[in-house]
């Protein structure tokens, strides 16, 4: 069993990496806040957290059915580690778009924006890769109990959600602060952080 502090800070770091990945959700939340207001942007963020929770649960169910076999356990750890490395490298080399404002739906129904956030997040294949790899990371480590894993991911998606809310409130200022250079630096930092998780997963798999 891991100390609570360790679970929280690792989950916090994982959530930060997810929150600052410049994908479609990042821009959707900022754009929605600028065009429709904070409440609509938070509705998008709610859809994202529901999507994350569903993807993590599905990942645990699929990995949990296979993890009893040591050979499969090693394979999952290896694949998950290389996926994280690949995802990190992608962040290092991918072009970062310039911030821009796009028109969004004029609907007044908050639930439509929750559905929007859920669909955008769920249909992004990198979200599946990211959370499946993270599930592999804690599943191959025998020191993680079921409670540890739950707390770890609750902290991760909770951190992600809190930062999404922060983006919603600060959107009007972020459009001035988010220069292209700043976004490139943050994106590259995110890539390095993801690669570190991948290397650790591969190391733990080798040491099993």
- Cβ–Cβ < 8 Å for 160, 46: no
Its domain, for residue 43, covers 4-207
pLDDT tens digits, one per residue of 68-81: 566 766 776 777 77
Task: Count structural domains, the chain.
Answer: 1
* pLDDT of 98: 63
* pLDDT of 65: 56
d(CA 21, CA 91): 8
What is the CB-side half-sphere exposure of residue 188 using CA atoms within 13 A?
7
pLDDT tens digits, one per residue of 86-126: 877 876 887 766 655 444 445 567 888 899 889 888 877 67
């Amino acid at each position: 069993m891991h100390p609570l502090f360790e679970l929280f800070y690792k989950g916090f770091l994982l959530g930060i990496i997810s929150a600052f990945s410049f994908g479609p959700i990042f821009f959707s939340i900022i754009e929605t806040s600028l065009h429709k207001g904070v409440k609509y942007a938070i509705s998008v963020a709610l859809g994202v957290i529901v999507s994350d929770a569903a993807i993590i649960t599905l990942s645990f169910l699929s990995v949990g059915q296979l993890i009893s076999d040591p050979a499969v356990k090693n394979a999952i750890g290896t694949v998950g580690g290389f996926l994280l490395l690949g995802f990190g490298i992608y962040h290092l080399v991918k072009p970062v778009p310039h911030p821009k404002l796009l028109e969004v739906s004029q609907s007044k129904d908050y639930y439509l924006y929750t559905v929007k956030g859920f669909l955008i997040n769920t249909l992004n294949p990198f979200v599946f890769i990211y959370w499946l790899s993270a599930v592999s990371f804690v599943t191959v480590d025998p020191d993680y109990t079921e409670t540890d894993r739950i707390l770890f991911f609750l902290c991760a998606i909770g951190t992600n959600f809190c930062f999404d809310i922060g983006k919603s409130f600060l959107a009007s200022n972020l459009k001035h602060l988010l220069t292209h250079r700043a976004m490139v630096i943050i994106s590259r930092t995110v890539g390095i952080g993801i690669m570190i998780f991948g290397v650790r997963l591969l190391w733990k798999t080798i040491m099993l």
